[in-house]
A = this chain, B = another copy of it.
Amino acid sequence: MTLGKEKELKEIEDVLCFMVEIEKLKDVHRKTRPVGLNRYENSAEHSWHVCISALMLKDFANEEINIDRVIKMLLIHDLGEIDVGDTIIYASETKQLKEEEAKGVERILSLLPAGKAENYIALWHEFEEGESADSKYAKAIDRVPPLLHNLHGNGHSWNDNNIDKETVLSLNSRIEKGSEKLWRVLKGKLEDAFSNGILK
């Protein structure tokens, strides 16, 4: 076997180790329940949900985006939670927690063959910073499922965590940075639900 071939097989072994390690994201529990289910959502199924949602909503981004980059960003965006767990957006994200999450992302992506991690680590930081067109849109989409879970689930996570209407509206208005049109529709739904008493 040539050295090149041996190296390739070793690289595949590395990716298989990565695949096993990231299984742990299926056991990271979020703060909302999927529509119709009694259990909490996990961050792996959430990651799928935001990727496919970003794809189907791509025409409504404020700026020109590269949807393929957005999807890659969303595929990896929660990997750091394997080490630190999920935090509800209404909690203050401390600098320390973010640093630990960044370390987790680096640890996990470094399981990949040499030279593969850097690109994805940079993509994760771009997502976290939320300043580029792609990351503004990706972050907007990431915020939508918990709204749908609450709208279709009696505001369960807002009740459980004592989040009031003003906080819901003000924090989620960040969706507007990625898609004004999407926020307009969601804001309307939230206001209706609050005024109908579906949300309290």
Residues of chain A at the chain B interface (Cβ within 8 Å):
8-9, 11-13, 15-16, 18-20, 22-27, 34-37, 41-42, 44-45, 47-49, 51-53, 55-57, 59-60, 68, 71-72, 75-76, 112, 116, 144-145, 148, 152, 181-182, 184-186, 189
Kindly identify which residue among B8, B44, B59, B112 contacts A49, using a CB–CB cutoff of 8 Å: B44
Asked whether, in the complex, the Cβ of A34 is within 8 Å of the Cβ of B23, the reply is yes
By secondary structure, the A interface counts as helix
Q: Are A37 and B26 in contact (CB under 8 A)?
A: yes
**Which B residue's beta carbon lies closest to that of A41?**
B26
Residue of B nearest to A8 (CB): B181
Copies in the complex: 2
A60 nearest CB neighbor, chain B only: B12
The complex places the Cα of A51 from the Cα of B49 at a distance, in Å, of 12
> In angstroms, how far is the closest chain B Cβ from the Cβ of A85?
16
Beta-carbon nearest neighbor of A144 in chain B: B19
